[in-house]
Amino acid sequence: MKILLDKIASVTKNANLPEKVTVIEKLVVEEGALLVVEALKNKTIYNQLELVSGRLSTIQKGDILAVALGNRRALKGFVGDLPERLKVGDTIHLLNMGGVAGICTSQNVKEVGYALKVKVIGAIAKGKKPLNIKQFSLFKGKKRMESTVPLILISGTCMDVGKTSVACEILQKGRRKGLHLFAAKLTGVAALKDVEKMKDYGAHKSISFVDGGYTSTAKHKGEIVSITKGAIDYLSQSKPDAIVIEFGDGLLGEYGVEEILKNADLQNNMAFHIGCAYDPLGAMKLVELCEAMGAPINMMSGPVTDNSVGVNFIEKTLKIPAVNALTQGEKLFRQMMKEMKKRKKI
């Protein structure tokens, strides 16, 4: 049967779904499976869906949505998994604004409220074949990375510690200096917001793990390194001067950041590594752990650098520069470039 969609979630972007889609009752429970669901209630908090355009649209009770199955592990949001089984009429949850759906098992109620319940109407199909975002991926995972393009890495202690702001300042200042910079967000859960923001600030091209066919990088620790290598090689085909990579969530979260930073191939291409933290203790531990795994932090940013208290601690105790991206973007870029050129990394 044909179903008219009210809203098409950004996680489906590469599938280029029309407003009216073919829906079948045969459901395949696997990450990336495209579903049509109906919103069962109104919410007053965390109540918007990010559309394929990147625009946020408030979800109304009764809205018919195109979403994709997946997992989430957000410290300040929802925790959720694929359902064990699924049939038409079942109730599942919307796990993030990008349109990843599954069974919510835990939530930070203060930050996001309770997960929105949605009713499964059916699987989006082409003919009789259920569709999955993997069928529309731009790149595949790779065991061996061929790229030699310099990588500017941005990691942090947690979500919402300023990583995207750092990336955007680097991209903006780099573009104004004539650098051809690409960007990627390679861990986290599907959303266009940060990837599109990087374009706004000067990335000539930006991608995420969604372009590799994944709704999130949770529960993919065995694949996350190959996903990252595939993304880097894909971007490197156009020969950028450097690739700015933001790792969503935190180093010790469940999205695979630690596994990536431990990889020797990635370390060999690492030209500069900026860490972001809320407080001195977080900054100290981030520096300690990254040093131990062979991906040392070269500069610290984030809320810990909002004033001289954190800056003095980092520079005197941790012996690395501390620069606030929001108030000292030019200084951050200048010091980074000076160090990279000194070490002949760019």
pLDDT tens, residue by residue, 136-176: 999 999 999 999 999 999 999 999 999 999 999 999 999 99
Q: What pLDDT does 40 receive?
A: 99
Q: Answer for the pair 227, 240: CB distance below 8 angstroms, yes or no.
A: no
What are the structure tokens assigned to 75, written together?
Answer: 């410290």
- Residue pLDDT, tens place only, 89-124: 999 999 999 999 999 999 999 999 999 999 999 999
What are the structure tokens assigned to 140, written together?
Answer: 């595949």
Q: What pLDDT does 259 receive?
A: 97
Enter the DSSP assignment of 315.
I
Q: What pLDDT does 190 receive?
A: 97
Span between the terminal Cα atoms of the chain, in Å: 55
Q: What pLDDT does 212 receive?
A: 98
- pLDDT band (50, 70, 90) for residue 344: confident
Q: Answer for the pair 57, 79: CB distance below 8 angstroms, yes or no.
A: no
What average pLDDT is seen over the chain? 97
Q: What pLDDT does 343 receive?
A: 86
Strand 270-276 relative to strand 151-156, pairing? parallel
Q: Who's near 308: CB < 8 A, 6+ residues apart?
A: none
Q: What pLDDT does 317 receive?
A: 98
Q: What pLDDT does 346 receive?
A: 83
Mean pLDDT of 11-27: 98
- pLDDT above 70 coverage of the chain, percent: 100
- pLDDT above 90 coverage of the chain, percent: 97
Residue 338 in 3-state DSSP?
helix
Q: Who's near 196: CB < 8 A, 6+ residues apart?
A: 54, 206
Mean pLDDT of 267-285: 98
Distance CA 297, CA 281 (A): 15
What are the structure tokens assigned to 127, written together?
Answer: 């003919």
- Residue pLDDT, tens place only, 36-73: 999 999 999 999 999 999 999 999 999 999 999 999 99
User: Domains along the chain?
Assistant: 2-136 (no CATH), 151-342 (3.40.50.300)
Residue 221 has pLDDT above 90, yes or no: no
Mean pLDDT of 185-210: 97
> If we measure between CA atoms, which residue out of 327, 315, 307, 250 comes closest to residue 282?
250
For tokens 């073919």, name the residue. 22
Q: What pLDDT does 345 receive?
A: 83
pTM above threshold 0.85: yes
| C-alpha 6, offset from chain centre | 25
CA atoms within 13 A on the CB side of 63: 22
Residue 325 has pLDDT above 90, yes or no: yes
